[in-house]
Amino acid sequence: MSIITSTAAKQVGKAFALKTDQDLQMFDDLWEVYQVGHHFEKTNEKAQHAAVEKSFSAIVNIASKQAGQDAPGFGRSVMSTHDKFVIFSDFHMTDRMNRQDWFFRFNFKLYLEVLKRYSQDGFDLIENGDVEDLVIFEPTPSEAKNRRQLVRRPTLGLDDVGEINWDELVGLRIENRRKTLERMLNDNKMYYDTVKKEFGKDRYIKVTGNHDGYVNEVLVGMIESEFWPEVLKDVVTIERQSPHGSVVRFVVTHGHQFDRACCPPNAKQVGETISECLAWGYQGADRIWRVSDTQKWSNGGKFNNVLSAIDSQPVVSGHPDLENFLECLLGHQVAWEYFENKDPYMAYVKEVCTGDEFLKVRHTDENELANHLLALNTLPVVPMVICGHTHEPRDRSTFSNTSALAYSKRHQLVPSVLHPPDTNDLNLFTRYMNAGSAGRFENLIWGIEIDGDRAQVISWTNSGTSSHIVPKKVIWKSDDQGSLIGKEA
């Protein structure tokens, strides 16, 4: 990793959250740790791919009512037959001292009002991961320095990024996260009290994500003390009666298990290291959408509905330093469609570098997930898999049916098992939904409602005048051409 790339990263950070000399020193310290995680990511790609492949197999097995909980990230499961659920995901809630406290600034009061409405309407609540954010911590000079001191460089080979004893780093993380969660539980007491009062143990399911750190027994004990024992789950199956007996109709899980950087076997070295070292200096867990961005969706409109793929072509800007920064720092597809400037280089220079908005990175290969989920076509009732993690809502999305394409290229008939259910379009995936995010869009909360066998993407926003503000719901339907179309409920 070059010094030029580090300098470019800091320059961009100055437009966002790196405002003082102390911030810049902490960024330098944590950059040393980041490089080790980035190096691990680049030198262990096969292991990361194998872990995600195991997750693909696990979700298929779970949806088929077979064994699958032995795969990392799926061990804590619960089954329900309740009729009505509302699913929200990716709050990334913090305490008040965190500079990335976006959920509280954006949607806290709106969310509590929405919860009361769903409670009154008889819905169960599933919060699908990354409710609390314990990865994007608020650094201190001593915390940053302690982490940098864990990096051990060889005496020779000055360009070597060095290595870290990962157990030592995890020890620092746990202590920092314990203190952070203590503050978070206190600062957000109104939220926790509302969830417990409105839903209680029988109507609330809390799913673990990759930012909440609930794979550690200390943190698990803290959140159980706030709620009740065994409140945390990794996967939820919702069953319905059918002519074939009781079948899985919906499977709900956060979705980080399908992200190579965040899949549990590699998360502590890759996803957590990269996120905690850099994201605090920009906009936290990926980009945010301010009200100037979200108001176009407040009353409906159109939202991108194409499954992401991580093997897209890199940006070719003619500026190798910036291109190297993007490639090394991200290594994933970027959602350029959210920028005003359609040219990636101009979007980066005029919008990212000025602090107008950060990059929306697509970490998960949703397209690959969809192709694996085609294996469920052999079931008499094909379940819907519902995730979060990506911060983008999805329903009946367009995708690249790679298995079917191989037959089409040979001018052969595509087998029925490669046809997505309920459509004649081979490239329209009908059994994957995403709940978007409750905390990354200002005055806009995305979610999913389940009522019986039907599921739909919804959003909520505050509407009205300053003296009379009321929550307004929008229902989003796929046009089956790559967009979600929203209309007021």
Residue from 469, 398, 474 nearest 432 by CA: 398
**pLDDT 10s digit of each residue in the chain, 489 long?**
445 588 888 999 999 999 999 999 999 999 999 999 999 999 999 999 999 999 999 999 999 998 767 889 999 999 999 999 999 999 999 999 999 999 999 999 999 999 999 999 999 999 999 999 999 999 999 999 999 999 998 766 556 789 999 999 999 999 999 999 999 999 999 999 999 999 999 999 999 999 999 999 999 999 999 999 999 999 999 999 999 999 999 999 999 999 999 999 999 999 999 999 999 999 999 999 999 999 999 999 999 999 998 765 444 455 556 655 665 556 667 888 898 987 778 888 899 999 999 999 888 999 999 999 999 999 999 999 999 999 999 999 999 999 899 898 888 999 999 999 999 999 999 999 999 999 999 999 999 999 999 999 999 999 977 778 899 999 999 999 999 999 999
> CATH number for the domain including 220?
3.60.21
In a domain, 46, yes or no: no
3-state secondary structure of 80: strand
Rounded-to-integer distance, Cα 327 and Cα 324, Å: 5
State both tokens at 373: 């989920």
pLDDT at 336: 82
> How many CB atoms sit inside 10 A of residue 42's CB?
11
User: What pLDDT score does 212 carry?
Assistant: 96
Evaluate whether 438 touches 108 at the Cβ level (below 8 Å): no
pTM (two decimals): 0.95
Residue 409 lies in a domain: yes
Q: What is the pLDDT of residue 2?
A: 45
Element (H, E) at 338: none
Domain tally, the chain: 1
Q: Is residue 371 part of a domain?
A: yes
Judge whether 23 lies within some domain.
no
**40, part of any domain:** no
DSSP letter string over 178-247?
A: HHHHHHHHHHTHHHHHHHHHHTTTTSEEEE--SSS-TTSHHHHHHHHHHS-TT-EESEEEEEEEETTEEE
* DSSP, res 413: P
Does 479 map to a domain?
Answer: yes
Question: Is residue 93, in this structure, part of any structural domain at all?
Answer: yes
Domain that holds residue 100: 68-135+187-256+285-310+363-488
Report yes or no: 439 and 107 within 8 Å, Cβ to Cβ: yes
CB 43 within 8 A of CB 201: no
- Interhelix angle 3-14/21-43, rounded to 10 degrees, is 130
162 domain residue, yes or no: no
175's enclosing H/E stretch is helix 166-187
DSSP states along 280-336: GGTTSSS--B-HHHHGGGTT-EEEE-B---TTPPPP--S-HHHHHHHHHHT-SEE-G
